[in-house]
Structure 1
Amino acid sequence: MRFSYVNTTQIFFGQGQISSIQSSISPSDKVLVIYGSGSIKKNGVYDQVVNSLKDHHWVEFSGVEANPTKETLDKAVDIVKQQNIDFILAVGGGSVIDGSKYVAAAAKYQGDGWDILTGDYQISDATPLGAVLTLPATGSESNAGAVITKAATQDKLSFGSPHVQPKFAVMDPDVMKTLPEKQLINGIVDAWVHVCEQYLTTSHGAMVQDGYAETLLRTLKTLGESFEQRDSDGWRENLMWTANQALNGLIGTGVPQDWATHMIGHELTALWGVDHARSLAIVQPSLLRNQLEHKRSKLEQMGVNVFGLTKSDDLAERTINAIENFYQTMQVSTQLTEHGDNKQKAIDAVVSQLEHHGLKALGENKTITLEASRQILTSAIA
């Protein structure tokens, strides 16, 4: 292990913590509040935010999509530039927070913000931002990454920079009370795959990272199996905190990481609008079977330490089956059906996008070539 790790986001966790905004943003800062479709006006979050900003000068921007688009976010970028915004407050789930990170960076750049996603512009400054999390899933509230879609070209790309790491994150589990069941399930699946991308790689001897990853996976498994308890404070608190810990950088420090499931899954979302978490559930089992020999040791470790399976020659295979069954028990499909009737055309479309984005050697071993991606998609698409 050789790494440098720091997480600069201050977490305000627990009931009633939205009031922490008041003391976390300078009263002299002009604030832009960014949110999504307006559900925060129905569940009381908006009113709490407004009350916390009563001593601040602030404006708002709404309409950030579930998969935030450059086209929408550029309108917020214009507001930041034209109204001399000093601080951005993202109020929402991962999409709103990711989108706000794009706005924060693009507002300090005079060119096309999409240059951030293509790597043609390296972020050197950003408008400071904070987050009020309303949907636990991505961990975006305390990491430096974001995923943005360009609707005009159906491109979905990611970027990361310490300049866009939120200064603080408010995590009040009470905001989850009005979330639809589907979004809660998506949160479990998203966090589960985030852990797997950093855990199901190679055997490396990093006992803390592996042990903590297994703890998070067992917790998510328990939350999925006890979904009928989702209205309890304890259930909500544990999902919100586990989803945060899954992608705050800790379990990925000093160890190999995969992320191929995400790269392929992003294309399913960009092409057919599949929920991000559900795109991951579609891709992951097929990808694990395709990469079985490279991941056999860690799959066997997961089978024993997460699912409690007994050792056998086919333990890795049974672990993949257990993962797939975990999704299916939550009524999450592991096959893509949104593509319509032409399976071959769908496979070709995804492979073409992967090639266009330069994703020709994915995974911790760079063994997922375009041909391997095609094989994975052949299994994953109904």
Structure 2
Amino acid sequence: MDNFTFHNPTRLHFGRGQIAQLGRELPPQARVLLVYGGGSIRRNGVYDQVRGALEGRTVVEFAGIEPNPEYETLLRAALLGRQERVDWVLAVGGGSVIDGGKFIAAAVTLDPAIDPWLIVGNRTPLKTALPLGCVLTLPATGSESNFAAVVNRRQTQDKLSFKNPLVFPRFSVLDPQVTVSLPPRQIGNGIVDAFVHTVEQYLTVPTEARVQDRLAEGILQTLIEVGPQTLADPAQHEARANMMWAANQALFGLVGLGQVQDWATHAIGHELTALYGLDHAQTLAAILPALLRYRYDDKRAKLIQYGRRVWQLSGGEDEIAQRAIAATTDFFGQIGVATNLGAYGIDADAAAQAVAAQLIRHGRLRLGEYGRLAPDDCAAIVRMAG
């Protein structure tokens, strides 16, 4: 197990009615930039709860942050925040809104002489950022308690990330009840996203990180148990609560400590989203099984462990490893997320060439644990995902 340092400063308020905690977390004199996506938070009552908890504070609203938040949209929000002299950002929504909130919190205080696009990819140092709070409405990314964000720029077909401790949310509210009205597509996407986040940190090579392995396996088993329940019975509160917590813990920071990590599925998936507009989780569900087959020899030992512990498989070692890949593929299909690019009308050969070109353009030439995946390897994985 490798050396590591762990630090997570986000306070989590979990459970029913916790939106009321906003009144304690945000100072009475705060000038708050409230950012959110579409109209769903008005229809499900979240907006009214948030505004009620913020009573007495100056609140400036910015709506319209997209799934895969667009750089140009976030720039407009940052400009509004600067003009209104806000001193807090409150992001209400799923991972895309929260990722956008992180960029906005950094961009509002950025030196006007610096191109804000340089925040993405960590190409300029951040000296300050506004404090950020979150109300999570879609469990998936874990963005509500980590310091990473992904920003899309449709104009240049870029989907890139940045990380900085300054954009750690100061607090996040997680009320499972507010997810009841989510459509099945978003729930299925969230389950896949959390699942693959966990796998990227776990399904690599043995490192004797035994506690972290079992944390990962517990998260995966929980998602396998409660994912179908959540889809079948939207009112099943305990299933939703466990799904929300599993998604948070998948990328909270503990699972990957001391582990050799992968993240190639995400890197390829980001390029597919930028090129074709697929949901993030749709790309992950298509790429992960193909990547596991392509890198079978490298991942064989962990695949055997995964098959035995998570899927309770028995038999010969190679049989277990191969059946574990099949079980993963079947699970994604069971929760309604297709596992091949053809289901989304994408030609795999053309996509393979386009993804390889994008990876080269972005300088992502050695992906995966130990950097063994070149762009040509990634192209082969995309073809296998066809």
TM value normalised by structure 2:
0.96
Distance in 1, Cα, partners of 2:100 & 2:184: 24
Amino acid at match of 1:138: T
Distance in 1, Cα, partners of 2:128 & 2:349: 44
Q: Aligned in 2, Cα 1:32/1:184: closer, same or farther, shift over 3 Å?
A: same
Please state if 1:186 is matched with 2:189.
yes
Please state if 1:16 is matched with 2:21.
no
Distance in 1, Cα, partners of 2:123 & 2:209: 35
Give, in angstroms, the shift of residue 318 of structure 1: 1.4
Aligned to 1:82: 83
Please state if 1:150 is matched with 2:153.
yes
Distance in 2, Cα, partners of 1:272 & 1:290: 23
Within a 5 Å distance, the mapping from 1:271-310 to structure 2 comes to 271-310=275-314
> Is the contact made by 1:36 and 1:96 (CA closer than 8 Å) also made in structure 2?
yes
Give, in angstroms, the shift of residue 331 of structure 1: 2.5
Structure 1 segments, 4+ long, off by >4 Å, are 338-342
Amino acid at match of 2:101: S
Give, in angstroms, the shift of residue 228 of structure 1: 1.7
Distance in 2, Cα, partners of 1:137 & 1:270: 19
Within a 5 Å distance, the mapping from 1:87-236 to structure 2 comes to 87-109=88-110, 110=112, 111-226=114-229, 227-236=231-240
> Is the contact made by 1:274 and 1:338 (CA closer than 8 Å) also made in structure 2?
no
> In terms of mean alpha carbon deviation, does 311-320 or 34-43 score higher?
311-320
> Is the contact made by 1:71 and 1:151 (CA closer than 8 Å) also made in structure 2?
no
Give, in angstroms, the shift of residue 230 of structure 1: 3.4
Distance in 1, Cα, partners of 2:213 & 2:345: 40
Please state if 1:369 is matched with 2:374.
yes
Gaps of 5+ in 1: none
Aligned to 1:29: 30
Distance in 2, Cα, partners of 1:125 & 1:311: 55
SS in 2 for 1:152: helix
SS in 2 for 1:132: strand
Amino acid at match of 1:284: L
Amino acid at match of 1:358: G
Within a 5 Å distance, the mapping from 1:1-80 to structure 2 comes to 1-80=2-81
Q: Aligned in 2, Cα 1:7/1:336: closer, same or farther, shift over 3 Å?
A: same
| Aligned pair partner of 2:338 in 306, 317, 333 | 333
Amino acid at match of 1:347: A
Please state if 1:380 is matched with 2:381.
no
- What is the percent sequence identity of the aligned residues? 48
Q: Aligned in 2, Cα 1:342/1:139: closer, same or farther, shift over 3 Å?
A: closer
Gaps of 5+ in 2: none
> Is the contact made by 1:97 and 1:131 (CA closer than 8 Å) also made in structure 2?
yes
TM value normalised by structure 1:
0.97
> Is the contact made by 2:122 and 2:163 (CA closer than 8 Å) also made in structure 1?
no
Please state if 1:323 is matched with 2:328.
yes
CA RMSD in angstroms, aligned pairs only = 1.2
Give, in angstroms, the shift of residue 311 of structure 1: 3.5
Amino acid at match of 2:109: K
> Is the contact made by 1:272 and 1:339 (CA closer than 8 Å) also made in structure 2?
no
Distance in 1, Cα, partners of 2:311 & 2:52: 46
Distance in 1, Cα, partners of 2:121 & 2:189: 28
Give, in angstroms, the shift of residue 341 of structure 1: 6.4
Cα deviation 1:300-355 (Å, max 9, x = unaligned): 00000000000314221111111111111222111113775654322211111111
Please state if 1:359 is matched with 2:360.
no
